[in-house]
Amino acid sequence: MTWANASWRTPAFWCGEHVPELPRPPCQHVPYGNTGGTRWGSGKGQPVLSTHAPQAAQAVTLPTTLDEAVAALAAMPAAVPVAGGTDLMAAVNSGQLRPTGLVGLGRISEIRGWQYQDGHALLGAGLTHARMGRPDFAALIPALAAAARAAGPPQIRNAGTLGGNIASAAPTGDALPVLAALEATLIIAGQDGARREIPVSHLLAGVDMLRGGELIGYVRVPLLHAPQVFLKATGRTGPGRAVASVALVLDPARRGVRCAVGAIAPMPLRPLEAEQWVARLIDWDNGRAVVPEALTAFGEYVAAACIPDPTPGVDGSVPELPPAVLHLRRTVAALARRALGRALS
């Protein structure tokens, strides 16, 4: 069996709940190629004709704990971790990536759920979008649930994970602006049980990267018990990548509004001045009321902060933004206005 086989290319393969149970040791090391009839080999030694790039991976390891996964990466430094495989397998199939080994994370049950910890939720990196979209999770972190429900078609939501979304760090990653607005942190697992915690924004900005052999284990998110909104604009009807997205959370304890704009830059943008300005206009003691004009002004403030006017020319005149950029700015303004309106309604 090779990458040409549909079961390999189907991202759901990597999701632990889709893998049929086989007798296996706790940490399985499986060679590719002709392995005499296992699920991983063709069993016939026959080459398979394929329009896809030939794979170069030599081994798949399927650990059952986070520390085993880190140890497997240390043992095979050239191997790459794979969770749902929705991003990684697309790169393999398009020939952009030739992993010499894979460490599958789909059987690590400790990172597939969440737990409460000191007013925070500790989310496992292996949580799928489908799981985060369910009502019990939505009651906990509504904006992340909304982002998960908006992420791609059902096949992608069933397999794609929170950790994969963060590690891929694509500008269109729907979870990313939500995590930025929530000021979430990552618990990163390293060798010999080491754990370190960094803000998600540091990873996305490249200030603090994953080091060799490290894995994202958990995401720590504050539980704010207040309205949160995620809105996304796409260039098409039905599931699609974001052209722009806005996550907005209220933090009544600190009388704060936190907002992040996704997809329009390599990482989510926080319009801090607009957040502070609008937070001062909200009557926090009186049903969080705000004058309607403030919603429109907030939308424009956010959009102008994220997509500023061009710098004036030598004669002092300000050139107009190109029509496509102007359209994007209007889209961001509308999303931010609506997000604040919904959060305060």
Q: For residues 73 and 217, what is the distance between their CA atoms, to the nearest angstrom?
A: 14
88 binds ligand FAD (CB under 6 A): yes
Site for ligand FAD in 240-299 (CB under 6 A): 241
194 binds ligand FAD (CB under 6 A): no
Residue 268 or 341 having the CB closest to ligand FAD: 268
The least CB distance from residue 332 to ligand FAD, in Å, is 18
Residue 133 or 152 having the CB closest to ligand FAD: 152
Residue 112 or 299 having the CB closest to ligand FAD: 112
Site for ligand FAD in 105-124 (CB under 6 A): 105
Residue 159 or 290 having the CB closest to ligand FAD: 159
The least CB distance from residue 17 to ligand FAD, in Å, is 13
Residue 108 or 249 having the CB closest to ligand FAD: 108
45 by Cβ neighbours in 10 Å (0-12 / 13-18 / 19+) ranks as exposed
Residue 19 or 297 having the CB closest to ligand FAD: 19
79 binds ligand FAD (CB under 6 A): no
64 binds ligand FAD (CB under 6 A): no
Residue 232 or 305 having the CB closest to ligand FAD: 232
Question: How many of the chain's residues bind ligand FAD (CB under 6 A)?
Answer: 31
Residue 5 or 10 having the CB closest to ligand FAD: 10
3-state secondary structure string across the chain: CCCCCHHHHCHHHHCHHHCCCCCCCCCEEEECCCCCCCCCCCCCCCCCCCCCCCCCCCEEEECCCHHHHHHHHHHCCCCEEECCCCCHHHHHHCCCCCCCEEEECCCCHHHCCEEEECCEEEEECCCEHHHHCCHHHHHHCHHHHHHHHHCCCHHHHHHCEHHHHHHHCCCCCCHHHHHHHHCCEEEEECHHHCEEEEEHHHHHHCCCCCCCCCEEEEEEEECCCCCEEEEEEECCCCCCCEEEEEEEEEEHHHCEEEEEEECCCCCCECCHHHHHHHHHHCECCCCCECCHHHHHHHHHHHHHHHCCCCCCCCCCCCCCCCHHHHHHHHHHHHHHHHHHHHHHC
Residue of closest CB approach to ligand FAD: 164
CB distance 156 to 11 below 8 Å: yes
4 binds ligand FAD (CB under 6 A): no
Site for ligand FAD in 133-172 (CB under 6 A): 151-152, 156, 159-161, 163-165, 167-168, 172
Residue of 42, 55, 86, 93 interacting with ligand FAD (CB under 6 A): 86
Residue of 4, 62, 123, 125 interacting with ligand FAD (CB under 6 A): 125
Binding site for ligand FAD (CB under 6 A): 11, 80-88, 90, 105, 125, 151-152, 156, 159-161, 163-165, 167-168, 172-174, 210, 215-216, 241
